[in-house]
Structure 1
């Protein structure tokens, strides 16, 4: 039985292809699907827009599928249940090494990198009325929403909170649902890990007053020493609730493909994505860092041959031993 059958049910959003381009597509699938994450998060917005763009440009039917996020996408792409997906480097490493909680012991080594996306900042959001203005202010037993089960946030943020001495009750759900729960007073904090601006946070700002909380120098030191993350600054212009930049930590995201997907299809997708950043930014502002120079941020996954061909042709060296 394929992993897809035993994972959480997913909802597909299908996009109809545009005109067929004049090129050999004999080894292309009839359609493609990209695994994203829950609605209200950046993965869904970015992935849906990218699928639509690829369908319109390359003349192949495509769609985005709601999933549990990076860890589940690694599993679904590895088994071939999905052609493509979005993942974060931390969950990607755990999955590659056989440490995924979705399939313990299965080394998900049939997943290849396509192109860099953006960094996922880990940030905390509360209602202003809560009086919580720092991580240290979070009271014992606070109900904290960590996103969908198995997501990047759910995998790492609880451990980060424990490292910082926070005692909490764990809650899971889609980002949109957790934003509603926060607004309704059912939870105290949402620990977001998603590309910025996060749709659910932007929506919350419109409806109520929120605090977007960063980390102190001491907190940053503890977290960067203990986890595969780096310091990151959320610009004040990202959210109307920020009066100044917010310093947090982040982890890189990459688009991935099943390594057996057509080399020519992946080449055309990477070419279209990497050579049209203005279009990608129009899909989501986080795509400002979806540029070829950031290919070096992948130190985990092998490269798909189609992706590596485009990067090598354009002066971004990927050695043969890093290509699947």
Structure 2
């Protein structure tokens, strides 16, 4: 299979970040012949995975490559499902994934049940929360929670682009609530921008666009709809039903009042983690040095994209669905983080003895 080539947009964005980094750090890339580069799979250029992946990759070229001779090269992709295929095949060494897809891959379940469990998958760091934004027309929001989705038979609902991570996670959530998306809704398969347009033009009654806060599509839809639209909360009982399927993956999240046009009250919803993943074959030292770089220069990433402002060292392992890479274990232990047993890889991969 031919490897994806970075788009012209990627080239332009990379060049812009390279210039900014050169000004920021006063560094220049190492000569071509000295580079050892891993592919970092992201998602489509219109989402958050892609620009954050480009920023991480370009940071690696400016900071990590001169120091360690290691860098990442970001490519666009169809998202989590394709990224897992690229990791399995060895075409990519790193990828940004939804937590749900990491859990499915590790278990060989859900939309990935036809595949063997991906036992070589490893977590590197949590990135930002993928926040659920269930939006419906105000006249249909009797309770203001996800229970309203079941109150209108044949609700015209945008579930996400077909075969996307958004479609997969939306189906998981709706099924956890006892709903059959194909039976209970009139499904529309659209991306975020198209969903906002369809909501504004009254071609759909609801949508869910999980992403880092704020989501441009939600801002646009609420700005146009005014008080005729409402973001739904997730009740404690609804969260319990979701949590029962994959415990600990989705966590409570509050969308602060005023985040979106006309949103006068906070919205209690849920979020899963988006995380940086690698394969077990990546050397421990490379992952360790990548994390040193990321957390030494977190201010650059946070200045580049708002989603990464949620990244902190204390929350770096929150909600991770698969064991950590040995290089990540070493880094977090050095930083004094307590790691749950579920995140520790096999003893053959990492020394579980006391630290010096």
Q: Deviations over 1:246-289 (max 9, x none)?
A: 01122222101232234443223211212333222223333233
Query: How has the CA–CA distance of structure 1 residues 242 and 47 changed in structure 2, closer, same or farther, with 3 Å as cutoff?
Result: farther
Residue in 2 that maps onto 1:56: 62
Q: Any conservation in 1 of the 2:127–2:316 contact (CA below 8 Å)?
A: no
Tell me whether 1:175 sits opposite 2:184 in the alignment: no
Q: Deviations over 1:229-256 (max 9, x none)?
A: 2322122243233211101122222101
The separation in 2 between residues aligned to 1:123 and 1:164, in whole angstroms, is 19
The separation in 1 between residues aligned to 2:41 and 2:326, in whole angstroms, is 20
The separation in 2 between residues aligned to 1:302 and 1:262, in whole angstroms, is 16
Tell me whether 1:75 sits opposite 2:85 in the alignment: yes
Q: Secondary structure at the match of 1:101?
A: helix
1:58-207 to structure 2, matched below 5 A, reads 58-59=64-65, 62-99=72-109, 101=111, 104-126=114-136, 131-133=139-141, 134=144, 135-138=146-149, 139-162=152-175, 163=177, 165=179, 167-207=184-224
Q: Any conservation in 1 of the 2:104–2:111 contact (CA below 8 Å)?
A: no
CA drift of 1:124 comes to 0.7
TM-score (norm 2): 0.74
Residue in 1 that maps onto 2:262: 241
Q: Any conservation in 1 of the 2:223–2:261 contact (CA below 8 Å)?
A: no
Q: Any conservation in 2 of the 1:121–1:193 contact (CA below 8 Å)?
A: yes
The separation in 2 between residues aligned to 1:165 and 1:186, in whole angstroms, is 22
- Note the residue ranges of structure 2 that are not aligned, 5 or more in a row: 23-27, 351-356
Query: How has the CA–CA distance of structure 1 residues 198 and 127 changed in structure 2, closer, same or farther, with 3 Å as cutoff?
Result: same
The separation in 2 between residues aligned to 1:113 and 1:57, in whole angstroms, is 22
How large is the Cα RMSD of the aligned pairs? 3.3
The separation in 1 between residues aligned to 2:323 and 2:246, in whole angstroms, is 22
The separation in 2 between residues aligned to 1:281 and 1:238, in whole angstroms, is 18
Q: Any conservation in 2 of the 1:142–1:189 contact (CA below 8 Å)?
A: yes
The separation in 1 between residues aligned to 2:165 and 2:252, in whole angstroms, is 17
Kindly tell me the number of residue pairs found equivalent between the two proteins.
313
TM-score (norm 1): 0.80
Q: Secondary structure at the match of 1:254?
A: strand
CA drift of 1:150 comes to 4.3
The separation in 2 between residues aligned to 1:80 and 1:298, in whole angstroms, is 25
Residue in 1 that maps onto 2:278: 257
Q: Secondary structure at the match of 2:44?
A: coil
Query: How has the CA–CA distance of structure 1 residues 43 and 204 changed in structure 2, closer, same or farther, with 3 Å as cutoff?
Result: farther
Residue in 2 that maps onto 1:36: 42
Q: 2:335 aligns with which of 296, 308, 314?
A: 314
Q: Deviations over 1:48-74 (max 9, x none)?
A: 333333333334775433333223322
Query: How has the CA–CA distance of structure 1 residues 34 and 299 changed in structure 2, closer, same or farther, with 3 Å as cutoff?
Result: closer
CA drift of 1:291 comes to 1.9
The separation in 1 between residues aligned to 2:102 and 2:326, in whole angstroms, is 19
Q: Secondary structure at the match of 2:213?
A: coil
Q: Secondary structure at the match of 2:199?
A: helix
Query: How has the CA–CA distance of structure 1 residues 136 and 114 changed in structure 2, closer, same or farther, with 3 Å as cutoff?
Result: closer
Query: How has the CA–CA distance of structure 1 residues 312 and 177 changed in structure 2, closer, same or farther, with 3 Å as cutoff?
Result: same
Q: Secondary structure at the match of 1:76?
A: helix
Structure of higher CA gyration radius: 2
